[in-house]
Structure 1
């Protein structure tokens, strides 16, 4: 009997995965250990194994599709089985699938290879075309779905959930917004709005009253370009995969938190001196590979111990403060920004913290890091000092309440105790905190204590 293989849930916080590439085709024979496809979670890649033996009867998703976890992605059975009949028996609408190796060309078939090229050039279509379950009042919703619904002005009781057990996930809210429920209340009440007829200019593409009024006015004549081509050569690249997920999360972070940044600097003399001692020490002692970044992370962890409001999560109006520090570390990788979590960083010494940091960064850059290690951080550090950045305002990785930006070390003029002008090396810090729960004085006190820890880093390390 034919069976479906579903998209696995690689981590408790993963709601959907991007199907990156198929390793099999219709008609192929597979074993339980066969890797069917490669998929991307939030920021990592996973291999999806078959788990069953048989013949591939149908592929139920395309490369590039964002597939909810536990949703069917492939049908496997006996070579002589009819795929359409098998799908009907399993309760899956078979409108796009025929027998193994056959395709119904009369429908818009997401399973056809010919659709690949069109899919990469056409505008994204809201998943309203697919049959969706009826909305259930009071259905559970993920934090990202709640944040998106608040932004779009959509009542979650009107949204159909397609996640596990009917849970409402973010893409369900996106579908609801695309169907016209993302228009403003005034536009909906006017009775003049027809979904798809007017391009919205409000937040998130929401249609406003002025958009309806503007649609009735003739477009102003555009003067012809003279002398040279306008606008010249361009390249359009639709956001997809991990890049799209990063874009959605960054926007969601700014929409659902009150972010405010604070900057300061510390005398880096002690930091540079200790780093030089470590670098020149006997490698057998395990200190020679410790970097400036490791020392800053260590000092940050120690400082957070007395500033729990910054070592916290804010979700659904509830602030959860953590006793242990689980430090997120922003890592630049070929597929985009990844933030692996150094679990229980507050229980580590400087050597263990340094070794763990390098191991996680290597896994992240290689793209094979456990998705569980890309979530659960209670505070994040983003270090752009190596790029010469003197100041920036990092974006909080919600639901965290703070993130520390580490800037470059640069010479600054100052005066010594005798009033003489001298030059000292100073390292800059940029703290972004959620002003919903972190007052300005709280942020200032954290930075004050961090500066003290950095300027006395030798005592911080042994203390």
Structure 2
């Protein structure tokens, strides 16, 4: 008999919550099979089977809080699941012999309504228990968990689906409310955002950038770039390089405040905000001053994939000296991004829209983007913030400056 333990959490993570068990007690499992998921305030960690065997018992159920390396289940390596009941085997043997059994002579076991209506082995223990108690079939419930899975809270306050999968009200004319607890990640996001607004002297400065030179450059070389490097050439990599160059020129924007000290970082770790089903996460590109455009594009692509699959590690989201967020992918025209502490600034990109602009005394239609830089005024003066943003504008409007280091 062996113990199955929660993963060893980093020092920055105190505990976690079991959000789902993918197996039940007595179930046969294979080596490396996913057993449970534990949500921390940063990532969802997976617990897998150490070997082939059987889950003897589950000591920590769904919604239980666990600490680092705590025992959550027991496991018997090399064992096999118990065979089916003797009556079931007898029925199978009789069927194989061609013997006819009168269904009326066999007493049907008493089953809860919900369990009789379907097989819920793929549901978590908490959901199966709720199904027995409420008589609600999980197959009829709109799931709010990752990948559309039904959670315990979904069973307590169910939103039912019709035959075509569309959400329907439980009663005609009823005003439906759904209540569910915040995930640990959402609570952590809320805490950090509130802390940033209360503990920093946050100010935002704006500018606009003509995207035509960058769009022309991308249109000219995107096919060659993808063929050579195996990744698509996007705008984010060029903004990361432009921001890195601007950070070199304005060290205060790359610094952080630690108590009464200012910490000037001699490296450039740029966080790129990525949207996921669980919320906004900020994985970090390390040493962007030594990365090429292809390296940046590949890193962003990998992070986006991991974010969608919930595979980002804590290490990949730890640190960072500056952050870039792009609300433009969702259609945002203008916003004031919130600083990601302990960083002192964040760059906000927005949607590209054609606007009439005055160029050499003539009105020209150009693809324009608003840029926003939110910064901590305790450390960064307005002059430096404005010039930092102007530097990014100049590098984007004339990309050759990046190559020529101008």
The question of a shared fold, defined as TM-score above 0.5 by the shorter chain, is answered with yes
Say if 1:298 and 1:416 are closer, same or farther in 2 by CA, change over 3 A: same
Q: Give 1:381 shift.
A: 0.7
Q: Tell me, what secondary structure is at the counterpart of 1:368?
A: coil
Contact preservation (8 Å) 2:36, 2:48: yes
Q: Give 1:406 shift.
A: 0.3
Q: Give 1:66 shift.
A: 4.3
**2:252 matched to 1:306?**
no
**Aligned equivalent of 1:372, options 304, 315, 318:** 315
Q: Show the 5 A alignment for 1:170-185.
A: none
Name 2:62's counterpart in structure 1: 63
Say if 1:249 and 1:283 are closer, same or farther in 2 by CA, change over 3 A: closer
Contact preservation (8 Å) 1:64, 1:240: no
Name 2:16's counterpart in structure 1: 17
Say if 1:31 and 1:270 are closer, same or farther in 2 by CA, change over 3 A: closer
Q: Tell me, what secondary structure is at the counterpart of 1:260?
A: strand
Over aligned residue pairs, what C-alpha RMSD do you find? Answer: 3.6
**Aligned equivalent of 1:392, options 320, 323, 335:** 335
Paired residues, number: 325
Say if 1:47 and 1:283 are closer, same or farther in 2 by CA, change over 3 A: closer
Q: Give 1:55 shift.
A: 7.2
Q: Give 1:380 shift.
A: 0.9
Q: Give 1:293 shift.
A: 2.1
Contact preservation (8 Å) 2:225, 2:232: no
Q: Give 1:113 shift.
A: 8.2
How many Å separate the matches in 1 of 2:65 and 2:383? 43
**2:45 matched to 1:46?**
yes
Name 1:7's counterpart in structure 2: 6
Q: Tell me, what secondary structure is at the counterpart of 1:281?
A: helix
Q: Give 1:14 shift.
A: 2.8
Structure 2 runs not aligned, ≥5 long: 78-125, 135-151, 157-171
Name 1:359's counterpart in structure 2: 302
How many Å separate the matches in 2 of 1:376 and 1:431? 20
**Aligned equivalent of 1:276, options 199, 219, 235:** 219
How many Å separate the matches in 2 of 1:280 and 1:342? 24
Q: Give 1:35 shift.
A: 4.5
How many Å separate the matches in 2 of 1:411 and 1:34? 51
Q: Give 1:405 shift.
A: 0.6
How many Å separate the matches in 1 of 2:381 and 2:130? 52
Of 324-333 and 304-313, deviating more is: 304-313
Q: Give 1:402 shift.
A: 1.4
**Aligned equivalent of 1:431, options 373, 376, 383:** 373
Name 1:243's counterpart in structure 2: 186
Q: Give 1:315 shift.
A: 3.7
Q: Give 1:77 shift.
A: 8.0
Say if 1:415 and 1:113 are closer, same or farther in 2 by CA, change over 3 A: closer
Name 1:163's counterpart in structure 2: none
How many Å separate the matches in 2 of 1:34 and 1:287? 32
Q: Give 1:290 shift.
A: 0.8
Structure 1 runs not aligned, ≥5 long: 79-110, 124-228
Provide, for residues 360-417 of structure 1, a one-character-per-residue CA deviation record: whole Å limited to 9, x for no partner: 2222222222331122221111012223312111122212111111012223333333
